[in-house]
Every structure is written in structure tokens, then in C-alpha cells.
């Protein structure tokens, strides 16, 4: 199943040639691994995805998970996915050996999940959320919590979830109202309800471990009063038997896509005896949760890129098989007596394909770039290096979440367009990917929330240190590109855009300094679009540099055409996408204030 | 139901103040009408839509039309829609009195259908296709065809369809393979199959009149050998009884949206006795069909704008009701003890709303502009005027089809974004509108096909006469805007963009002149995006001029705030949308040739 949903050659090229994953493997933490063992692991994930995931994606859409009699029922194929995947180690890929994990780099974790999500985006969340919640317990929980919960989560005997959202407080975590009342025992009594809980229940795990944000009685208002609890669906009693814990599934949200991935509504403490165990210290829940959320944000962006990858290959297959229309001759006419040509021969179809390739591979590269910073941060021995990679990671995380989400929508829409009317029909896959991917810009903080984070927090962090570090990274890529005459004009284009970033920030910052934060942040989403486009431009130049290097050194294991296609797609991105940045800068530097101080009845 | 799906005040403002529909009414053909009678008609369509259409849109999605035992079954509510709508005259709105029509301007036809489609986009196609096919018979058929078919179509006793697409020839009409064999009688024998036939069958019309493109035996290849036939589902025999005509429904295409609007697969002549009656002359079928297709293209764009209108109002309602988050104070902090604010108070939500308003009302205005040219063309007495309006109509038609389709996708996506996670759930409407609207960029020629038409045919028509005429129209608007100091900078922006249009065309044309049509047209879709954005910029300046005029003359029947909102939205469009045009121009003037002469295995 080469290139039915993911291009493993490109994935490996990005890992090894563009992001130098082998350098990571020389670090102490990862020293048991080399390129060969990583390749074997990646190939095994591909085989698993070919056999257990990809063949079932359509059926999971047609037979969605559903709620009945207090339980969620997911597609029967999950029986052949969850336990086997757990046994492959998919939950604990990045965990320490001591915690039962495989201690792999985060970059490899993301590569593996990318493959699985491209094969079937309805599935990997069940692993990912269990992994994330187990990781939270390992990072901040006491030994008893670790011993009680984590071993069962590693092979998905028990599933894990994160419970943040409440009906009255979607994105506004200050307004979490679920309560936690202390008792004379080691637990609190939890009461409240949580919605949009992904992977919250199913018939193939015997228990669920919910990581729940709640407010201890008397805690301060706002985010400073939010604590984190482990709330099992069934709690182990003194004999280790599982007993009812009043964490009831009361419904499932019916969605337009990703229907195999359940989205549940959970009510805690209806009988006033729902027990939760505090993780770490009181009132620090949000800062703990943010560890998980930051990972989940990168993971969500990755999922967007993966869905777009699958849509791309599905439309590419069609374009290579479907004859329609003819080439124009030099009089601008078509000869109806000729055979029809394959639609891939039409420039507009090529444009739609390149646009998908540019978005998919550019997004993949950004995910690996971001996780590479993560891996370097956690393995750096110098504090200065740790801070550098942490700041770069913090800055790129909201972009890595958002670019693949927003541009992934456009990319899957282009896949539909290639199929024409068939693209809108259930017989073909693009319409499903188009429905599936639309959630990505909403999960884990909407695009608006990510954009406030980017401009409001990350750009201003340590007086702009993060953006300075990013500029240095980009400048290094520009410098590398200037070694190749063919790349100089593109390098120059990127440099110009980098200057524009400074100019835009210089125009916006005074509003913040004057205390007019509403004005400062009003166009944060436009800023996200602007900086995201430039960051992907950087990734493409970096990718082209790596390709050129291989071509010159003649040391690649792919054909020359493979590397040339990377260079060609870089040019496409610079010609068709990066050209949009200046217009966005103009919008950002406008002096109108059209979305603030406007009466609501203007609409 | 004010503003639940359409803003009638804005619709009337566009009709009367921006596009001076009253001037049309002074023309002979429309002289029975005045503003009062038009208003009464529009209000009656709104009432019909409120009662019979809007309440059923969700249910039509949940209970799609389906195929069973050779028949299509549509939602039962159609019983209360089709006949009553037929009796209101909705099929023959624009037809001559002599043909049983109401002889209304096309502009009013589009206004009425806009309202109905905003209320329920699954419905009006049943009227529209019957109207279009009846109109084809009236325009090109002989008296017998007119007498036999049209009267029954006017009240939807019989439905009408257009049958172009075949499985092996989607957009490529040169490849129509359905055959027509002449007989000694007045009919041909038709054999072949047609797919994607909208409104092709249902239980509430007793017969269907298919307008079928087919190739008479021995006809030339390509589009020059295509003829048009009336092929009834059941043919009237000598006694006027309806008998089987071997036009069999063999299936329905299951689609991701617009599920109440059936999309059928029809097989003609399985028993070798499917009779079709030639419309007009042999081998001229495509030119006849193009009359219908041109109308259908404007209608399709209108449908896109209407769906986006409904999504806009659905998200506006939510934004006005949903409290979430808080305003930032001057330290950039939120006070968690304050009440949450309505989300409409967040600038990013306002931006999402303005972007929808700008797209929806800009698209409506373009539809009315285009149909205004149509009405002027058919009622002009001077040949020169007729030609002028015809050329403007021809030029704007592919844009009027495409801008609302492509930008409408973005607009409905913004509606989802406003609702956050709820936007993805079946309990709320935006996800349905998002699924429904995706077909608009595919119907009646995909965006790629429209773009080839725009750049390849319309821009080059009569040595660029159409684009020259458009430039004159735009310049008039710029001149009007220059009367108002507040508008001068926007007028200037539009002028600059108009210059850019000339420059882009000047860069592209030499490729055509050198016979390199593939290169000339490679980026036609980017050109569509570019020119479409500028054309909508023109419509917005025109709209703002009209609003300013009313404000100065103090002769409006709306509040000042209503007119000021138009001016504000114009500014929004110029700041957030028109700024994109320069980047598109840069793409169009690039000297790379990245989508042509590239090997297909680059992907």
C-alpha cells in the first residue's frame, strides 16, 4: 500500500535528512536506538496501519460509535486494534523504560502516530489520550497513583481521557465549575459534568481513568483555583476489585465527521460518591494539564496533516486513473477525435495536487521541527540550551496546531475538487476526509485561542526572545540556501518576509505597551495566518536545502526525481502560497479598528 | 423570522438603492410592476419560505431522498411545497405572459430564489430546473413541444431536468456518447445513460421532462455533433395517456450534503424504444443548452450565497446568546469574578461575522448586478446597448458562479468556528450548511471550468471588449466614491487594483498570442480568485456609495445604523479581503512554469 495514504519515503527523508533525527539518537536518553531500529519500528507501524486501520476507515464513518444504555459502543474492529496496539507499545512510546515505556524520541512518536492517523484518523486518539493521561500521572502524581493506574493503561486494559470542557465554559477554563470536596480520606468527592470528552468510553477497555479539572471548595476563582484529579470510572476497592464510582456516561455528541472517535458527555458524582484523587498540589491543575495540552496541540496539528495526507493520495490516485478532456493545441482548440487525457495532465489539476503536497509535507515538516525542539529540550544538559529549545517549542506549538488544521481544510477541499461531482459522493473518500478534518481547528483550543496564545503570550515571552530565536533559525536556513544559486531568490524572499514579521510586530506592540490589549490582539488570527505561512516557507526552504545536499553529494537512497520533487514543491510554495504573506501584513498593519468598539447590532 | 436566514432589508436595499431595480420596471416588458407590487411579491415568497421551507431543512438532511424499486422518494414535506409553489408561479416567474409566465425581471427571479434557498437550499432546484428546461423548450422548441410539455411544467405537475453528464465524460461535453437514431416518425430513439441528474425523479410529479444532450447517428465528433432532445419519462400517446418511455431511474448518488435534493442516475432506451423529440436544429444542442447553463450558473452562485447567508445568521444568533470568556483589562488580564461576556464581544468573533457578512452581501450584490445586465440586455432596444450588456453578463457569469461558491465555503466554515465544538455537532446548523455548500463549486462546471471560461473566453472576447466595459463600470463607481472624502482612499485602492488587472492580463496575453494556450490558462483559477476579489470590492464600494447617498439625502426607510453598517463592511472588505489581490497578481505574473511540463510522477 505504498502511497495510499502516506508517503513513507518522504516521512523518512524529513526525519533523517531535514531534521537530522540521527543526531538525537546520539543523546544518552535515546542511545539504544539507531536508524535501523527506528526504521524497523516505523515499518511495523506502517504494516499495522495497512492491515488493522486503513481498511476500516470508511466503515467507521458508516457505522459510527453510539450511546446506548449508559455505554458507548465503538466499531467492532477496535477489538483488533486497541489491545494489539497496546501490546506494540503505542501508549508508552516516549515513556521512560522504568515506567514501562520505550523511551523513544517524541519525533518518532509523532512519526508513528502520523502514519496511523493518515491510515485512519478515527483511531489513534484512543491511544494518544491514554498516553497523555498516563504521562500526566507519571509526571505529577504520587507513587500510589502511578502504581494503581499506569500499568493498566499501557496496554489499554484501561483507557485514559482528559476532562476539561464543561457546558457553560467551552474555551474558558477559568470558568470550570466542577467541584471537589475534601474528605477525611485520601480522596475528594467530585461533582459536575464534562462535555466533548474524546475516547471517553467504549466496550474494549474494562475501565477508564479520567484526568479531571475541578475546583476544591474554597479555592480562588479563575484558573488559579483549578486542581487536577484522577477520577476512575470504576475505582479499585481495598481488594483491588473495581466498583462503581459515579462517573456516568450520559450521551455521545453526534458529529459530522470523525464518527468512529467517540465524543462523550460525562456526569460525575450524581450519587454524591464520585471519588477523585488529587494529582500533585492543589490549584496547580491547569499548569499540569498544560503539559498534556501542549503535547495534544502538536498531536492535533499532526492529525490534521495526516488527514490531509490521506486525502491527497486519494485524489492523486483518481487523477492518475480518470481520463477526461484534452490538451489544447496551439490554436487553443481541442481535437475531439483524440483519446481523452488523464486529468493529471491538466495544469489546474497539477496545481491542486501541488497545493496539497505543499501543505501536507510542509505541515509534516513543521510537526517534526516542533517535536525535534521538544526532544532537544528534554535531553539538553545546559540550562541555556534547554531554555532555547523550550522557547522555540512554545512559539511553534500553536502554529503546529493551527497551520495543518486551517490549511488542511483547504487541502482536503482541493482533493474533493479533483474528483469533481464524485468528490461530493459517499462512494469516494475525499468527502469523508473533508468532514473529518473540520474538527481539527476546534480541538484543543480553537484557531482563535491558539492565535491569542501565539501573539499574546509566545511573541511577547521574555521580551520577544522566542521570536528572536526563531529568526536565528530561519536565518540559518537562508544562509544554507544561499550556497545554491538556484535557491538565492527564494532565500531572499524568505528574508524579506522575515523582515516583515519584525515590522508587523513593531506595529502591533505599541498597542500592548499602551495597555490596549484588545487592539493588540484583535487580529491575532490574521497574525497566525501570516506567521504560519512564513514558518512553512522556512520549512520548505530547509527541505529543499536537504534535497539539494543529497543531489550534490549523490548519497541518497531515492531517485534524483524524488529530491527534485522536493525542490519543485518548495518553488510552488513560494510562488503560490508565500506570496500571500504581504497582503496579510498589510491587513495587520492597517490603522482601521473595524472589529473593536463596534456596536453588536451592526450585524 | 427576521434575519433567521436572510436579511430582507438588505436584499431590498441592494435591489432598489444599489442596483436601481425600479429603473428596470420602467421598461416596456416589466411595466406592469412597480416597487409596491414587487415588495408584495417578495414578502409573499418570504412568508412561503418561513412556513413551508425553513422549518424542514434539518429534517431533509436527516431523512434524505432515497432510491427504491426504480423510484426516488423525497421528503414528504415536498407535497406541501411543490404544487403550492407551482401555483404561486415560481416556475414561470420570468416567462412571457403568453407562455403562462409572470414576466418579472430576472433580478426579481433571483431575489425570490435567494430567499427560498437561504431558507432551505434542498428545495428550489426542483423549481429552478423545471423552469430552466421549460424555458429551453419555449426558446427553441416547436409549437407542438411547447403545447405538449410546458403547461404541465408550470405548476410542477411534471418536473423538468437537464441531462448533460455521462459517466465517461464529466465536464467534457465533447464526449457525450448518448445516441439518437432517427426514425420515420417525428421522434428519435435515444440510448445511453446520464448521471448526476438533479431533481430527476420524485413521488410528487406524475411525469418528468428530461432535456437530453445526445448525438444523432453520423453527427460530427465533439461538441459540434451534439443535439438536444426532449425525452419524457412517460410519453403521451395518441389519446394523451402517459405510457412508459424507457427512461429508467436506476439509482441515486448518496452525497455528503444537500441530501433532500435528489441526484439521480438515468438509463435511456434499455428496451430500444425510448423516444426523444429534437429541440431546434440538429447539432446545435450545446448552444441551446448554454442558454440554460448560463442561467444555471448564476443560479448556482446565488445558491452558494444563500447557503452562506443562512449559516451567517445561524452563527450570529449563537454569538449573541452564548456567554464565554471575558474582555482583557489594561494589564492584559481577565477578572474571573466578572460575569462572562457574550462571545460577540470578542474582536475575533466580530471578524468572523464581518467576514461572513462581507462575503454574503457582496455575493448577493454580484448576483443582482449580473441579472441586472441580463434584464437590460433582453429589454434594450439599441443593438449597441444589447451588446454591451451581453458582454458584461458573459464576463460576470463565471465569477457570479464561482465567488459565492468558493468564498461561501470559507464563510460557512467561519460560521462553524464561531460555535466552537458545537459547530461540528449535528445539533446545530452550521455543519449542515458547510456540507451543503461544498457542492456549489462543482455544480454546473467546476471552479476550474469556470476559470477557463473566464480567462480563456470571456477576457479575450472581442479583443478584450468585455473587460474594457467592466473597467468602465468600475471607474464609474470609483468616480462616485470620490465625491465622498471618507471613501477616497478606498476608491484609490480599487483603482490601483484595476490597474493591476490590466497588468496581469498584459503579462498573460502574450502566451496566448504565441499559441501557448496551456501556459496562458495554467493559472486560470488563480486569475478567477484575483478578479473575483476585485469585482466584489467594486460591489462593496458601489454599496457604500448607495448607503452614503441615503445618509446624506436622509431619505432612507432604515435607521442610519443600517446604512453605516454597509459602509463599515465595505471598509472591512477592503482591509481584510481586497488586500489579498496583490499577492494573487504576483502569483499570476510569476515566470516559473511549475504546473506544466512536469512529469506526473513528481507526486
pLDDT, one tens digit per residue, over A443-455 is 999 999 999 999 9
User: Average pLDDT of chain B?
Assistant: 96
pLDDT in tens, B225-254: 999 999 999 999 989 899 999 999 999 999
- Assess whether pLDDT exceeds 90 at residue A375: yes
B454 to chain A, any CB pair closer than 8 A? The answer is no
CA distance A240 to A147: 12
pLDDT value of residue A26: 95
**Is A517 near chain B, with CB under 8 Å?**
yes
d(CA B268, CA B244): 11
To the nearest 10°, report the CA torsion of B236, B240, B243, B249. 50
Q: Spell B301-333 as b/e; 16+ CB within 10 A means b.
A: bbbbbbbbbbbbbbbbebbeebebbbebeeebe
pLDDT of residue B329: 80
Distance CA A53, CA A564 (A): 32
Report the C-alpha gap between B57 and B119 in whole angstroms: 8
For B400, the grid coordinates are 457570479
Residue A349 has pLDDT above 60, yes or no: yes
CA distances from B324 to A175, A265, A446, A476, B418 (A): 9, 19, 13, 43, 11
Tell me the pLDDT tens digit for each residue of A18-31.
999 999 999 999 99
Per the DSSP assignment, residues forming a β-bridge with A180 are A190, A216
SS3 B491: helix
Helical axes B285-321 vs B383-419, angle rounded to 10°: 40
Residue A598, chain B, CB below 8 Å: the answer is yes
Neighbours of B227 (CB within 10 A): 24
Percentages (nearest 5) of helix, strand, coil residues in chain B: 60, 10, 25
Sequence-separated (6 or more) residues with CB below 8 Å from residue B101 = B89, B92, B93, B94, B95, B154
3-state DSSP call for residue B93?
A: coil
CA distance A438 to A404: 11
Spatial separation of the C-alpha atoms in residues B109 and A444, rounded to whole Å: 45
Site of grid cell 411544467: B153
pLDDT digit string, tens, across residues B128-179: 999 999 999 999 999 999 999 999 999 999 999 999 999 887 777 888 999 9
Across-strand partners of A215? A179
What ipTM was predicted for this assembly?
0.96
Question: According to the model, what pLDDT value does residue B168 have?
Answer: 83
Quick check: B439 contacting A, CB < 8 Å? yes
In whole angstroms, what separates CA A279 from the centre of its chain?
26
Average pLDDT over residues A86-91: 95
> Is the confidence at residue A172, as pLDDT, over 90?
no
**DSSP H/E element including A250:** strand A247-252
Q: Give me the phi and psi of B192, to 5 degrees please.
A: 155, -175
Q: Which residue of B has its CA nearest to A441?
A: B417
Spatial contact of A433 and A413, defined as CB atoms under 8 Å apart: no
What is the Cα–Cα distance from A86 to A555, expressed in whole angstroms? Answer: 37
Locate B32 and state its grid cell. 406592469
pLDDT score of A75 more than 60: yes
Give backbone dihedrals phi and psi of B276, rounded to 5 degrees, phi first.
-130, 145
- Is residue B582 less than 8 Å (CB to CB) from chain A? yes
Check residue A335 and give its pLDDT.
82
Closest in A222, A580, A587 to B576, CB measured: A587
B251 lies within 8 A of chain A by CB: no
Do the chains contact at A575 and B587, CB–CB below 8 Å?
yes
B441 touching A (Cβ < 8 Å): yes
Instruction: Render pLDDT for A245-265 as a digit per residue (tens, 0 to 9).
Output: 999 999 999 999 999 999 999
Taking 80 as the threshold, does the pLDDT of residue B516 lie above it?
A: yes
Residues B537 and B578: their CA atoms lie apart, in Å, by 6
**B218 close contact with A: CB closer than 8 A:** no
> What tens digit of pLDDT does each residue of B401-413 get?
999 999 999 999 9
Residue A177 has pLDDT above 80, yes or no: yes
Place of cell 527523508: A13
A175 part of contact set with chain B, CB < 8 Å: yes
Residues of B in contact with A442 (CB under 8 A): 416-417, 420-421, 423-424
Query: Cell digits for B358?
Result: 462581507
Alpha helices (H) in B167-322, listed in sequence order = 285-321
Interface test with A, best of B10, B579, B581 (most A CBs within 10 A): B579
Residue A592 near residue B571, CB atoms below 8 Å: yes
Contact B451 A348 (CB under 8 A): yes
Residue of B335, B525, B586 lying closest to A348 (CB–CB)? B525
Alpha carbons B592 and A571: distance in angstroms, whole number: 8
Q: Tell me the nearest-neighbour CA distance from A40 into chain B, angstroms.
A: 25
Residue of A nearest to B342 (CA): A600
Question: Helix or strand or coil: residue B596?
Answer: coil
Closest-CA residue to A449 (of A505, A524, A532)? A524
- pLDDT at B2 (0 to 100): 61
Q: How far is B384 from B390, CA to CA, in rounded Å?
A: 10
Interface check for A251 against chain B (CB to CB < 8 A): the answer is no
Percentage of residues of chain B with pLDDT beyond 70: 100
Neighboring chain A residues of B529 at a CB cutoff of 8 Å: none
User: pLDDT digits over A283-335, tens only?
Assistant: 999 999 988 889 999 999 999 999 999 999 999 999 999 999 888 887 778 88
Strand partners, B63: none
Counting Cα atoms < 13 Å in the Cβ hemisphere of A150 gives 23
DSSP H or E run through B198:
strand B188-198
Collect all residues of chain A within an 8 Å Cβ-Cβ radius of residue B344.
600, 603
Q: Give contacts of B428 with chain A, Cβ < 8 Å.
A: none
Q: Which of A222, A564, A582 sits opposite B583 (nearest CB)?
A: A582
Contact A426 B254 (CB under 8 A): yes
CB B202 within 8 A of CB B72: yes
With CA atoms as reference, report the closest residue to B358 among B569, B594, B78: B569
Q: Which residue has the cell 404541465?
A: B152
A527: pLDDT strictly greater than 60: yes
Residue numbers in B near A561 (CB within 8 A): 599, 601-602
Backbone angles phi, psi at B357, to 5 degrees: -60, -40
Question: Do A393 and A321 touch, CB atoms closer than 8 A?
Answer: no
Where residue B3 falls among pLDDT bands split at 50, 70, 90?
A: confident
Rounded CA gap, A418 and A412, in Å?
10
Cell of B211: 432535456
Among A62, A332, A343, most B C-beta atoms within 10 A, so best to mutate, is A332
- Does A283 reach chain B within 8 Å, measured CB to CB? no
What is the reported pLDDT for B332? 78
| Helix runs in B323-429, H state only | 347-379, 383-419
In this complex, the residue of B334, B345, B594 whose CB is nearest that of residue A571 is B594
Which residue of chain A has the CA closest to B447? A417
The mean per-residue pLDDT over the stretch B554-561 comes to 96
* Residue closest to A228 by CA, chosen among A214, A248, A242: A214
Residues B494 and B537 sit within 8 Å (Cβ to Cβ): yes
Average pLDDT over residues B85-101: 96
A151 touches chain B (CB under 8 A): no
Residue B26: closest CA among B35, B13, B17: B35
Residues near A69 by beta carbon (within 8 Å), at least 6 away in sequence: none
Say how far apart CA A268 and CA A246 lie, in whole Å: 6
CA distance, residue B96 to nearest chain A CA (Å): 34
The answer to whether residue B461 neighbours chain A at the CB level (below 8 Å) is no
* Mean per-residue pLDDT over chain A, rounded: 96
Q: Backbone dihedral region of A179: left (phi > 0), alpha (psi from -120 to 50 degrees) or beta?
A: beta
Whether A426 contacts chain B with CB within 8 A: yes
Q: How many Cβ atoms sit within 10 Å of the Cβ of residue A281?
A: 12
Inter-chain touch A568–B598, beta carbons under 8 Å:
yes
pLDDT tens column, A47-65: 999 999 999 999 999 999 9
| C-alpha–C-alpha distance, residues A558 and A520, integer Å | 48
**Residue B515 near chain A (CB below 8 Å):** yes
Residue A2: predicted pLDDT: 61
pLDDT value at B282 more than 90: yes
Give the one of A222, A417, A576 whose C-beta lies nearest to B441's C-beta.
Answer: A417
Is B530's pLDDT higher than 70?
yes
What was the pLDDT predicted at B173?
Answer: 82
Q: Can you tell me whether residue B278 is helix, strand or coil?
A: strand
How many Cβ atoms are within 10 Å of B475's Cβ, its own excluded? 15
Q: Mutate which of A328, A347, A446 to disrupt the B interface (most B C-beta within 10 Å)? A: A347
Q: What is the pLDDT of residue A438?
A: 98
A–B interface: beta-carbon pairs under 8 A = 287
Please name the residues between 320 and 339 in chain A that touch chain B, using a CB distance below 8 Å. Answer: 320, 323-332, 334-337
Distance from CA of B393 to the nearest CA of A (A): 23
Cβ-defined contact of A580 to B575 (cutoff 8 Å) = no
Nearest to A516 by CA among B341, B330, B178, B179: B330
Nearest to A438 by CA among B431, B598, B237, B419: B431
Terminal Cα-to-Cα distance of chain A (whole angstroms) = 51
Nearest CB partner across the interface for B583, out of A170, A344, A579: A579
**CB under 8 Å to A509, separation ≥6 — which residues?**
A460, A520
Higher-confidence residue of A468 and B222: namely A468
Report the distance separating Cα A529 and Cα A536, nearest Å. 11
Pairing of strands B158-163, B207-216: parallel
Count CA atoms closer than 13 A to B440's CA, side-chain side: 34
Of B340, B517, B586, nearest to A175 by CB-CB distance is B340
Amino acid at each position: 500500500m505504498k502511497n495510499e495514504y502516506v508517503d513513507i519515503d518522504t516521512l523518512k527523508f524529513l526525519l533523517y535528512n531535514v531534521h537530522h533525527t540521527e543526531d538525537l539518537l546520539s543523546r544518552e536518553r535515546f542511545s539504544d536506538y539507531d536508524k535501523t531500529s527506528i526504521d524497523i519500528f516505523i515499518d511495523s507501524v506502517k504494516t499495522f496501519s495497512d492491515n488493522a486501520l486503513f481498511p476500516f476507515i470508511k466503515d467507521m464513518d458508516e457505522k459510527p460509535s453510539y450511546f446506548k444504555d449508559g455505554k458507548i459502543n465503538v466499531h467492532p474492529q477496535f477489538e483488533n486494534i486497541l489491545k494489539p496496539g497496546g501490546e506494540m507499545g503505542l501508549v508508552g512510546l516516549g515513556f521512560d523504560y522504568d515506567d514501562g515505556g520505550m523511551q523513544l524520541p517524541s519525533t518518532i512518536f509523532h512519526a508513528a502516530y502520523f502514519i496511523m492517523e493518515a491510515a485512519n484518523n478515527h483511531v489513534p486518539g484512543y491511544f494518544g489520550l491514554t498516553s497523555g493521561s498516563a504521562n500526566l500521572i507519571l509526571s505529577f502524581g504520587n507513587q500510589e497513583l502511578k502504581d494503581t493506574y499506569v500499568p493498566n493503561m499501557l496496554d489499554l486494559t484501561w483507557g485514559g481521557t482528559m476532562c476539561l470542557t464543561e457546558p457553560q465554559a467551552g474555551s474558558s477554563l477559568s470558568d470550570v465549575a466542577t467541584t471537589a470536596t475534601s474528605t477525611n480520606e485520601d480522596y475528594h468527592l467530585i461533582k459536575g459534568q464534562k462535555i466533548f470528552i474524546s475516547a471517553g468510553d467504549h466496550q474494549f477497555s474494562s475501565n477508564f481513568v479520567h484526568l479531571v479539572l475541578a475546583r476544591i471548595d474554597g479555592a480562588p476563582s479563575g484558573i488559579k483555583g483549578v486542581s487536577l484529579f484522577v477520577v476512575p470510572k470504576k475505582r479499585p476497592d481495598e481488594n483491588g476489585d473495581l466498583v462503581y464510582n459515579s462517573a456516568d456516561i450520559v450521551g455521545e455528541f453526534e458529529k459530522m465527521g470523525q464518527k468512529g472517535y467517540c465524543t462523550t458527555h460525562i456526569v460525575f458524582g450524581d450519587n454524591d460518591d464520585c471519588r477523585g484523587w488529587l494529582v500533585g498540589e492543589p490549584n496547580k491543575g491547569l499548569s499540569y494539564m498544560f503539559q498534556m495540552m501542549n503535547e495534544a496541540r502538536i498531536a492535533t496539528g499532526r492529525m490534521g496533516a495526516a488527514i490531509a495526507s490521506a486525502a491527497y493520495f486519494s485524489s492523486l490516485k483518481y487523477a492518475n486513473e480518470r481520463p477526461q478532456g484534452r490538451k489544447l493545441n496551439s490554436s487553443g482548440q481541442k481535437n475531439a477525435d483524440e483519446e481523452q487525457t488523464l486529468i493529471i495532465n491538466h495544469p489546474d489539476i497539477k496545481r491542486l495536487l501541488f497545493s496539497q503536497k505543499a501543505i501536507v509535507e510542509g505541515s509534516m515538516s513543521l510537526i517534526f521541527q516542533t517535536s525535534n525542539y521538544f526532544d532537544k529540550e528534554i535531553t539538553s544538559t545546559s540550562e541555556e540550551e534547554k531554555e532555547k529549545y523550550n522557547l522555540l517549542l512554545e512559539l511553534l506549538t500553536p502554529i503546529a496546531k493551527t497551520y495543518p488544521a486551517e490549511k488542511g481544510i483547504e487541502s482536503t477541499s482541493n482533493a474533493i475538487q479533483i474528483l469533481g461531482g464524485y468528490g461530493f459522493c459517499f462512494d469516494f473518500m475525499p468527502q469523508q476526509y473533508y468532514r473529518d478534518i473540520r474538527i481539527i481547528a476546534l480541538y484543543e483550543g480553537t484557531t482563535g485561542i491558539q492565535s491569542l496564545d501565539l501573539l499574546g503570550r509566545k511573541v511577547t515571552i521574555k521580551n520577544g526572545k522566542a521570536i528572536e530565536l526563531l529568526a536565528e533559525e530561519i536565518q540559518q536556513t537562508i544562509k544554507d540556501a544561499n550556497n545554491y544559486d538556484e535557491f538565492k531568490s527564494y532565500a531572499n524572499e524568505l528574508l524579506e518576509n522575515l523582515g516583515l514579521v519584525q515590522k508587523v510586530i513593531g506595529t502591533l506592540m505599541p498597542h500592548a505597551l499602551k495597555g490596549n490589549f484588545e487592539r493588540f490582539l484583535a487580529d491575532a488570527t490574521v497574525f497566525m495566518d501570516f506567521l504560519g505561512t512564513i514558518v512553512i516557507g522556512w520549512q520548505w526552504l530547509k527541505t529543499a536545502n536537504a534535497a539539494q545536499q543529497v543531489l550534490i553529494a549523490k548519497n541518497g537512497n531515492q531517485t534524483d526525481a524524488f529530491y527534485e520533487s522536493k525542490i519543485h514543491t518548495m518553488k510552488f510554495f513560494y510562488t503560490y502560497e508565500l506570496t500571500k504573506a504581504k497582503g496579510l501584513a498589510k491587513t495587520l498593519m492597517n490603522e482601521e479598528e473595524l472589529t473593536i468598539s463596534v456596536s453588536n447590532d451592526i450585524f
